[in-house]
Amino acid sequence: MTKKKEIRYLLLPDKEEIESLKKKWKNKRIILTEMVDEMVDDTLSVPSGTRGKCYDVDCLGHLQMNWDTGSTLNLLPDIDKFEIESK
């Protein structure tokens, strides 16, 4: 028996969605709860509990991050789990 592979279709956000994401996340401190790696080796992912700052949102709606660990791996809002760091 062969396993079927799930295929996800990429739905690109429109300009309004990008602006909404920027207003919500840009320049915010974020705590990562879980990074789900579907395409990336686990050794490259950011560990849960890591803190960082979102410095921008790209045209795909990915949060561009500067993690406190020095990593710059993006967050995917519809896949990864994270929250705004409380002050």
Asked if the structure places residue 9 within a domain, the reply is: no
Whether 63 has a pLDDT exceeding 60, the answer reads yes
pLDDT at 42 over 70: no
Type of residue found at 10:
L
In the chain, the percentage of residues whose pLDDT exceeds 90 is 63
Residue 1, in any domain of the structure:
no
Q: What CATH number is given to the structural domain containing 32?
A: 2.30.30
Per-residue model confidence (pLDDT) at position 6: 61
Q: How many Å apart are CA 63 and CA 34, to the nearest integer?
A: 14
Answer yes or no: is 75 within a domain: yes
Rounded Cα distance, 12 and 60, in Å: 6
> Does a structural domain hold residue 15?
no
Q: CA–CA separation, 87 vs 25, rounded Å?
A: 15
Tell whether pTM > 0.85: no
CA distance 62 to 34: 15
Mean pLDDT for the stretch of residues 58-81 = 93
The count of structural domains within the chain is 1
